[in-house]
Amino acid sequence: MATRAASDRVFLTCLIPLAIATFLSGPLAVLHFHGHLDHALSYAFRHTAWSQDVIEEVPLLFHADAYPLDGKKTIALQDQRLQSLIMAFNASYARSPLPSTRSERLIIGYVPVNETLKLQSRDRSALLEGSLLRVNRVTKCESSPSGSQSSPGPHECQTMVHTELEQPFRVRKVRRDHVSGVLFAQIERLA
């Protein structure tokens, strides 16, 4: 009787967890091989209640005027570094074979400079605030509208970013990326 209890204990402590791990590792290996596992884990991480406290990092776009109240705006980008970052992100998601990945868009931080200056003049210790924007579409003109082959002027050929308002945010910390030169901010989402 004692040997049967010992063999049951060995079975329950060793073989059942091994069987469960073997049973789960096959499908997980297939999902990981095809790239679905990383997307599923990132989706689950972003949509859990406790992930709301996680500080995100977004590229910053400084603009003179406030974002319109209707929630949509087409912005002509002047910053070449931010243009190249957005174009690279847009190209990588356009090539993605997963439709759920293609529906995700780049989020950028829109900081209105005039409102920030007013806020800073009232309270020097106030943190920078802005709006999170979802980039829906990016269009880049290839040549000047006049058809000439000369280099385009500042208003002839620009990258146009079609955006939609997501949510207000407050900047916690700003850093400049050494490779791209773009300013990134660690943010706190506001309700």
Q: What does the pLDDT look like over 138-155, one tens digit per residue?
A: 887 655 444 444 444 555
Q: Average pLDDT of 14-21?
A: 83
Each residue of 55-90: pLDDT tens digit? 578 898 888 888 888 889 898 888 888 888 888 877
Query: In sequence order, what are the beta bridge partners of 160?
Result: 76, 139
Q: Where are the alpha helices (DSSP H) in the chain?
A: 2-10, 16-33, 36-46, 80-94, 99-103, 113-122
Domains present along the chain, CATH in parentheses: 55-189 (2.30.130.40)
Please tell me the pTM assigned to this model: 0.58
Q: How confident is the model over 90-143, as pLDDT tens digits?
A: 777 666 665 554 446 788 899 888 888 887 788 877 788 889 988 888 887 655
Other Cβ atoms less than 10 A from the Cβ of 67: the count is 20
